[in-house]
Amino acid sequence: MPHLPDVLLWSIPAFVLLAVIEMVSYRLHPDEEAKGYEAKDAATSVGMGLGSLAFDALWKVPIVAIYATIYELTPLRIPVLWWTLPLMLLAQDFFYYWSHRGHHVIRVLWACHVVHHSSEKFNLSTALRQPWTTWTVWPFYVPMIALGVHPAVIAFTSGANLVYQFWVHTERIDKLPRPFEFVLNTPSHHRVHHASQGGYLDRNFGGILIIWDRMFGSFVAETERPVYGLTKNIKTFNPLRVATHEYAAIARDVRAADSWRERAGRVFRGPGWSPAERAGAGEIPQAGPPEAGARASVQEPAA
């Protein structure tokens, strides 16, 4: 088994230091338009991050077992070398793009990912607001395992991808020089991703590279100032409700459904989906491509 560092664990002190520096920067140089920090919101984000570490350790047991089984069954092997590791990081970023996009357009997956978008602030603490149900992510990386990538490499590259994305959760960095903005996911691109305006919804899914969004038609440049959060914000700082509110909303919709087709749609269609007959009776149908309106899901009432 390749011996690769736990980059996420080693990066935690840097996360804390950079977040403190950002907080101080708002004190020294306030920005009336920037959202900045709110104590309860930041505490919730940190709590969600700590909870995700505990739950990820729990989900890791069956996921590693599945990955290990697939790895043993495939005859292929990709060695961990100085030149193969960057290629595997590139492949992981590609599959991350599709995982991220899938978690916006399929409601049961969105129920996991909505946690990360639930803050109305956008700062480095927002990067720590991670879901507790990441068991929905592992299927997207099965192709890499089947091609002979060791499960430990998936863990390493996924951690590296997550560490990279920490710094893009800020309003303190404006647009970077054009070559960087063209290739990389930057704070400007990720501000768009966290925005709740209609033109910004469900765009810029890239992790490290923004080229996937340019290639697959999901890129939008930052023009107007983003409004962060969900299209219907949950107005709660309770970590348990932040982690589960969309699952509860799905359960309510499934119970109220009139048919098995509607029940399936409430789970596997887009977060804002509703059957045509109900839309005609007063519900507003979603417009645009399948990924449009993914944050318009029914949310739990505020605490």
DSSP letters spanning 276-289: HHHHHTTPPPP-SS
Question: Residue 221's closest CA among 261, 181, 260, 253?
Answer: 181
d(CA 271, CA 294): 5
pLDDT at 186 over 80: yes
Range name among 18-27, 64-73, 87-96, 292-301 with the lowest pLDDT average: 292-301
Average per-residue pLDDT in the chain?
Answer: 91
Q: Quickly count: other Cβ atoms within 10 Å of residue 233's Cβ.
A: 16
- Residue 295 pLDDT: 57
Q: Which pLDDT band, with edges at 50, 70 and 90, does 294 fall under?
A: very low
- The C-alpha atoms of residue 262 and residue 277 are separated, in whole angstroms, by 10
Please tell me the least confidently modeled range out of 171-175, 231-235, 272-276.
272-276
Q: Which of 24-38, 124-138, 140-154, 190-204 has the lowest mean pLDDT?
A: 24-38
- pLDDT band at 240, cuts 50/70/90? very high
Determine the distance from the C-alpha atom of residue 280 to the mean position of all C-alpha atoms in its chain, rounded to a whole number: 32
